[in-house]
Amino acid sequence: DQQVKQNSPSLSVQEGRISILNCDYTNSMFDYFLWYKKYPAEGPTFLISISSIKDKNEDGRFTVFLNKSAKHLSLHIVPSQPGDSAVYFCAASAVETSGSRLTFGEGTQLTVNP
């Protein structure tokens, strides 16, 4: 079963506008959420995270919002830049699982047009 789901395989926005990437999860034991960015032929790189005790975390142009009741999180990028074009993965972990093994969504390809 797909415990972390990104329903939009792709998103296209204009430079300078806001990009909103969405992620839904089903496992109520998840208590830590992350976004990773991946360029072609490279491994994913960590972008931003949020603990379940918060509903918002901000880092520069990137903000992650968590709605626990809806089991939904989103990543906002504003303003979007062409260099942000990449695949974005949502991931989640639960403190009970050994280590911090991550459960990933399928990814969303973001394209920022100049």
Partner 1 sequence: GAGVSQSPSNKVTEKGKDVELRCDPISGHTALYWYRQSLGQGLEFLIYFQGNSAPDKSGLPSDRFSAERTGGSVSTLTIQRTQQEDSAVYLCASSHQGGIADARDTQYFGPGTRLTVL
Residues lying near partner 1 in the complex (CB under 8 A): 4, 6, 32, 36, 41-46, 49, 51, 89, 91, 93, 95-96, 98-107
- Conformational region of residue 68, where left means phi above 0, alpha means psi within -120 to 50, and beta covers everything else: alpha
Please say which residue, 13 or 90, places its beta carbon nearer to partner 1.
Answer: 90
Burial class (CB within 10 angstroms; exposed 0-12, middle 13-18, buried 19+) of 3: middle
Please say which residue, 96 or 114, places its beta carbon nearer to partner 1.
Answer: 96
Query: Minimum Å distance from CB 43 to partner 1?
Result: 3
| Euclidean distance between CA atoms 80 and 74, whole angstroms | 15
Please say which residue, 103 or 111, places its beta carbon nearer to partner 1.
Answer: 103
Query: Minimum Å distance from CB 36 to partner 1?
Result: 8
Residue type, 46: F
Query: Minimum Å distance from CB 105 to partner 1?
Result: 5
